[in-house]
Amino acid sequence: MDNRRVKTGASVTTRRVIAYIVLVLITILCLFWFYVLFINATRSHSDLTKGFTLIPGGNALANWNNLMHSTQPVLSGMKNSLIIAVCAAVLSTYFSTMTAYAIHAYDFKIKNAMFTFILAVMMIPTQVVALGFINLMGKMHLMDTFTPLIIPAIAAPATFFYMKQYMESTLPMALLEAARIDGSGEFRTFNSIVLPLMKPAIAVQAIFTFVASWNNYFTPALVLTTDKKKTLPILIAQLRSADFLKFDMGQVYMMIAFSIFPVIIVYLILSKYIVGGVAVGAVKG
């Protein structure tokens, strides 16, 4: 009996060590490319043309000064990207959760048809409807504004589907019925009971929506024409498309490194809710 316990304990320890080694290797592999990016941001254009190195260069301040004194409105692009990404993340998660709550909590005739229709919309690529979208925005005189980049984020089928699946496992109907019996209105129930329970799911989708909006190049490039209103992905593309005499690879790497800091900050802020959600799911399982 003791030998079996010893063997079982040893096998568990071995599996645990192997799992930790694999996780460490995957973490290193994921973080390595960020390290390369930040290293390249500290090197000059001439150093970058010589090849790859793991040693930081001494040109970080020069690259930053060149970036700040370039023709690209970098700080303005950062502000524009933040406004669009934050507003899109907030609207997408809030209204997608509200839509999922309506499908989950109420029974009506076209419930299944609406659910199927929303999922069908998810299959339509953005590029297919781009021309009609631009024509509509032109007729509504919304071109070269942030509105076409923020308001459509309300309709997010993928976010809705994730919220709906999460509600089915974490939001019991008995809790909603109890709130209604106590006289709570539907909006109060949603804002005071449903949203706090959905924090982990909201945090996950807020990160995904923020990153998708932050990295979005296609739609902003079609809508925005004024330099002061352009987002960082457009400015990075313009910086990379400079002619050969003005092209500075160190400056491009510095701008890319500068552009991912907000994404890292948002992840660090919301990561505790994600970890909490995983822990709750593990306990329930």
Residue 285 has pLDDT above 50, yes or no: no
pLDDT tens track for 135-173: 999 999 999 999 999 998 888 888 898 888 888 888 888
Reported as a pLDDT band with limits 50, 70 and 90, residue 12 is confident
Is residue 248 located within the same domain as residue 156? yes
Residue 129 has pLDDT above 70, yes or no: yes
Residue 13 has pLDDT above 90, yes or no: no
pLDDT tens track for 71-84: 778 888 889 999 99
Is residue 152 located within the same domain as residue 34? no
Is residue 139 located within the same domain as residue 257? yes
Q: What is the structure's pLDDT at 284?
A: 45
Reported as a pLDDT band with limits 50, 70 and 90, residue 282 is very low
Domain count along the chain: 2
Residue 243 has pLDDT above 60, yes or no: no
Reported as a pLDDT band with limits 50, 70 and 90, residue 22 is very high
Task: For residue 52, give its domain range.
Answer: 2-59
- What rounded mean pLDDT belongs to the chain? 83
pTM as predicted: 0.81
Q: In this structure, what token pair is assigned to residue 82? A: 């933040």
Residue finishing a domain among 12, 31, 59: 59
Residue 196, domain CATH: 1.10.3720.10
Q: How many CB atoms lie within 10 A of CB 114?
A: 14
Is residue 23 located within the same domain as residue 88? no
